[in-house]
């Protein structure tokens, strides 16, 4: 084993289910059974295998084990020997997944079972569908050579075999006539023959093989009691061999094609119609036009939206279940006067308690767009744990970003904070500025420096009065960073002077952007050196696959992700070898290394003067935990000057780290974590009444919101954090005055 670090992994053991492919390439195990074992460094191969099979309660004689690694959850790796166990431990952090499967079903490729793959070989078919005259049909003009009868079209590697057995015999029932016609179409593709529909009546359908004299035929009719369509007569024999590839030109109704390609399109909701064309030609030998591919994608989206509309009825049930599972959880929603869903707020009791007992009074508010719900937003409030990792606190869903809905969300967030005074770091979107200032006070509201820098960059690129490119632009951004991270007023003024001498317009922009909201030197409340929305990058990956689903699925997925995150972070505490976390320890190591070359002058038992190579002097007071550079006071972590002084006294440096970063604090934060969500008794949406009591207007459950498509071309990318563009003031090129140009109201021009 390459690594020598001791590890403890929470190992998920799976058996009997299938892997569902998520949009980010990872897999989610559906069906079967899932159990767990705890694995530690040094475990032997035989002990590990026995532990997995004993936990699952299955016979290991004809089974194989596979596992994944943290940087590629979609790739299954065969577990054969001790080296495989060592690899599993080394390349997973916190938790791992092990899959048991029958040896005769083990795939030769290295992809997970039931994952969408490319077509290995294609059988050329001609299928004639006699739908209604208005149904649009498409055909393949270019046949693809066939080497076997295996098709990979619906996401499973055994699609061809399944399609060849779709028609079984007389008495087989189908939900409706369309389901029967689609089954005949797939059956003809798998068995490579043409067919024609002789009778296509509402209550009776008769289909024969298109070849002359061939006895193959199937007929079906509507049952009187169940109204299902069942096969009445089925002759499954042909008087001719299967068609060769040169004769295959499948024809299919558009809604059938949408059903076949539905899983692939939902797996990549941002895929372009051109990609749909490529997949249809690659997997089905059907050549689509751009318009037809766009139509397929729209049909699928409309079907999903219609189906998901019923799920809004289950939101009250899920909110009640969250509160029942964890008393103290806040899960509330509201609707419009027409009983249409409007907004949602959820904060788990374990998150509320963890924030109250150990997290610093600092939260980050991020806003993301939900692609399936036009103009709706997903808002997440997060804090930091003792190792500076993201700690989700609460989330909300708003169908509109108006001030009323924002204030509603912030009022709920205020209840979670229990009137604790906090500093809020958020983007510079215009709705949030006024709402956050009203709720928390402008002195407690800090702008995300990432957004400020983005605005600064846009200002440079978008202006027409001057050009700053290449090396000049890098220097301007460096000066802006110096202004933001300067701790003292002298350092701030020095950096501000540099950008003023570089370009006056950039200096004016900085002054207009309210630097007292984002600069370290001017912002008066503690931010522990976190100027950016800390959770931005983590949150993107946290909800990436949930951006395109409806509200109920998003709630369930968020619960599952948060459960995994909290469990993983709790297990990581056992791996702490120091009184502080790994990230904080790394920061102290960097400060110690930077302080090695400082010249030290002892002023007293607790005071030290340190001189940098540039001649700058700083004074450290170990009794007061202060340094004139202000880094120690702002971060709670000894700066390079303090590290050098502490080394001189031979004291334990970890005693001078703020309690926010200690192991005890981390244990308090993760003392309580949530359990998995129990959904075994979830009702069906049709069993829930969606109405309001006429007496006291008590809403029982919400209906789906009315969503109107926004005008204009859809965005290519979802909106992320909103940023405000600060306009530069107009300046005269002749007199240098502000507010006019050289052609209007300029005294020098008049002369």
> pTM for this one?
0.60
Q: Which of 75-89, 132-146, 298-312, 351-365 has the lowest mean pLDDT?
A: 132-146
CA dist., res. 515 & res. 210, Å (int): 77
Q: 146 lies in a domain?
A: no
pLDDT of residue 205: 92
Q: Tell me the average pLDDT across 632-653.
A: 91
**501-538: pLDDT as tens digits:** 988 889 999 999 889 989 999 998 888 888 887 554 45
Indicate if 389 and 318 belong to the same structural domain. Answer: yes
Please spell the DSSP secondary structure of 520-573, one letter per residue.
TTT--S--TT--S-TTHHHHHHHSGGGTTS-HHHHHHHHHHHHHHHHHHHHHHG
Alpha-carbon distance values, 575 to 3, 7, 84, 533 (Å) = 14, 7, 22, 27
Q: Tell me the average pLDDT across 250-265.
A: 62
Q: 695 lies in a domain?
A: no
CATH number (domain holding residue 14): 3.10.20.90
Domain termination residue (choose one: 661, 679, 694): 661
Residue 331 phi, psi (nearest 5): -135, 100
Q: 739 lies in a domain?
A: no
Indicate if 555 and 423 belong to the same structural domain. Answer: yes
Indicate if 476 and 613 belong to the same structural domain. Answer: no
Give how many domains the chain has, as a whole number. Answer: 6
Indicate if 334 and 444 belong to the same structural domain. Answer: yes
Work out the angle between the directed axes of helices 45-56 and 82-90 (0-180°, nearest 10).
Answer: 80
Q: 500 lies in a domain?
A: yes
If you average pLDDT over each of 32-36, 145-149, 233-237, 673-677, which comes out highest?
A: 233-237
Indicate if 351 and 443 belong to the same structural domain. Answer: yes
| Nearest residue to 688 (alpha-carbon basis) of 330, 329, 339, 322 | 339
Task: Determine what percent of the chain is predicted with pLDDT higher than 70.
Answer: 73
pLDDT of residue 371: 64
Indicate if 321 and 392 belong to the same structural domain. Answer: yes
> Residue 142 — very low, low, confident or very high, per pLDDT cuts 50/70/90?
very low
**373-427: pLDDT as tens digits:** 656 788 889 999 999 888 989 999 888 878 888 899 999 999 999 888 999 998 8
Q: 88 lies in a domain?
A: yes
Indicate if 211 and 259 belong to the same structural domain. Answer: no
**131-141: pLDDT as tens digits:** 333 333 433 33
Beta strands in 298-351 (DSSP E): 330-335, 341-347
Residues 6+ apart with CB under 8 A from 204: 219, 220, 221, 222
Q: What average pLDDT does the chain have?
A: 77
Q: 108 lies in a domain?
A: no
**613-633: pLDDT as tens digits:** 888 899 999 999 999 999 999
Indicate if 552 and 606 belong to the same structural domain. Answer: no
User: Which range marks the domain in which residue 261 is found?
Assistant: 255-311
Domain termination residue (choose one: 661, 678, 711): 661
Domain termination residue (choose one: 267, 292, 311): 311
Q: Are 127 and 43 in contact (CB under 8 A)?
A: no
| Nearest residue to 498 (alpha-carbon basis) of 479, 519, 515, 511 | 479
Indicate if 303 and 354 belong to the same structural domain. Answer: no
Indicate if 318 and 306 belong to the same structural domain. Answer: no
Indicate if 247 and 273 belong to the same structural domain. Answer: no
Indicate if 471 and 506 belong to the same structural domain. Answer: yes
Q: 32 lies in a domain?
A: yes
Q: 325 lies in a domain?
A: yes
């Amino acid at each position: 084993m390459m690594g020598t670090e001791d590890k403890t992994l929470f190992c998920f053991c799976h058996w009997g289910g299938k892997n569902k492919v998520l949009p980010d390439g990872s897999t989610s195990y559906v069906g079967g059974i899932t159990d767990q074992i705890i694995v530690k460094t040094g475990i032997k191969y035989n002990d590990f295998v026995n532990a997995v099979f004993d936990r699952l309660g299955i016979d290991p004689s004809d089974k194989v084990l596979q596992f994944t690694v943290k940087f590629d959850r979609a790739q299954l790796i065969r577990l054969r020997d001790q080296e495989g166990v060592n690899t599993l431990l080394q390349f997973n952090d916190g938790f791992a997944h092990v899959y048991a499967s029958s040896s005769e079903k083990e795939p030769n490729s290295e992809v997970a079972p039931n994952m969408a793959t490319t077509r290995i070989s294609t059988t050329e078919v001609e299928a004639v569908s006699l739908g209604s005259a208005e149904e649009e049909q498409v055909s393949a003009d270019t046949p693809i050579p066939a080497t076997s009868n295996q098709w990979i079209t619906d996401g499973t590697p055994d699609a061809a075999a399944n399609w060849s057995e779709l028609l079984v015999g007389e008495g087989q029932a189908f939900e409706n006539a369309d389901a029967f016609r689609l089954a005949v179409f797939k059956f003809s593709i798998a068995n490579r023959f043409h067919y024609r529909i002789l009778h296509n009546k509402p209550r009776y359908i008769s289909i024969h093989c298109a070849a002359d004299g061939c006895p193959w035929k199937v007929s079906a009719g509507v049952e009187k009691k169940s109204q299902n369509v069942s096969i009445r007569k089925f002759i499954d024999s042909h008087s001719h061999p299967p068609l060769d590839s040169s004769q295959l030109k499948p024809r299919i109704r558009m809604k059938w094609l949408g059903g076949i390609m539905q899983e692939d399109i939902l797996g990549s909701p941002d895929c372009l119609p051109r990609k749909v064309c490529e997949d249809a030609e690659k997997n089905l030998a059907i050549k689509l036009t751009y318009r037809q591919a766009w139509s397929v994608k729209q049909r699928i989206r409309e079907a999903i939206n219609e189906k998901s509309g019923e799920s809004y009825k289950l939101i009250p049930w899920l909110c009640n279940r969250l509160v029942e599972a964890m008393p103290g959880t806040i899960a509330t929603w509201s609707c419009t006067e027409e009983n249409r869903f409007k907004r949602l707020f959820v904060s788990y009791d374990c998150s509320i308690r963890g924030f109250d007992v150990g997290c610093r009074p600092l939260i980050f508010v991020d806003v993301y767009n939900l692609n399936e719900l036009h103009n709706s937003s997903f808002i997440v409030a997060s804090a930091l744990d003792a190792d500076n990792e993201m700690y989700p606190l609460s989330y909300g869903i708003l169908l509109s970003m108006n001030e009323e809905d924002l204030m509603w969300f912030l009022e709920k967030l205020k209840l979670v904070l229990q009137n604790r005074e906090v500093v809020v770091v958020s983007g510079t979107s215009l709705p949030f500025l006024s709402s956050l200032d009203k709720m928390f006070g402008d002195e407690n509201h800090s702008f995300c420096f990432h957004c400020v820098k983005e605005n600064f960059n846009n200002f440079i690129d978008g202006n027409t009065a001057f050009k700053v490119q290449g090396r000049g632009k890098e220097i301007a951004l460096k000066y802006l960073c110096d202004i933001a991270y300067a701790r003292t007023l002298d350092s701030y003024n020095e950096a501000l002077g540099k950008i003023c001498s570089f370009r006056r317009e950039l200096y004016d922009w900085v002054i207009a952007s309210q630097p007292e909201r984002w600069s370290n030197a001017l912002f008066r409340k503690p931010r522990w050196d976190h100027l950016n929305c800390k959770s931005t990058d983590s949150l993107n990956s946290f909800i990436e696959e949930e951006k395109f689903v409806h509200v109920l699925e998003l709630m369930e997925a968020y619960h599952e992700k948060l459960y995994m995150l909290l469990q993983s972070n709790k297990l990581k505490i056992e791996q702490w070898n120091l009184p502080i976390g790994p990230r904080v320890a790394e920061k102290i190591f960097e400060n110690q290394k930077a302080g090695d070359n400082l010249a030290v002058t002892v002023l007293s038992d607790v005071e030290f003067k340190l001189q940098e190579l540039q001649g700058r002097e700083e004074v450290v007071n170990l009794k007061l935990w202060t340094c004139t550079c202000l880094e120690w006071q702002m971060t709670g972590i000894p700066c390079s000057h303090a590290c050098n002084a502490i080394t001189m006294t031979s004291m334990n440096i970890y005693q001078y780290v703020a309690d926010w970063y200690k192991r005890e604090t981390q244990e308090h934060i993760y003392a309580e974590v949530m359990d998995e969500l129990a959904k075994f008794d979830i009702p069906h949406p049709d069993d829930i009444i969606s109405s309001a009591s006429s007496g006291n207007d008590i809403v029982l459950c919400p209906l789906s919101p009315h969503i109107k498509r926004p005008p204009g071309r859809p965005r290519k990318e979802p909106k992320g954090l909103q940023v405000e563009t600060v306009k530069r003031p107009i300046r005269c090129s002749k007199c240098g005055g502000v507010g006019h140009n050289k052609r209007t109201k300029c005294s020098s021009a008049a002369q």
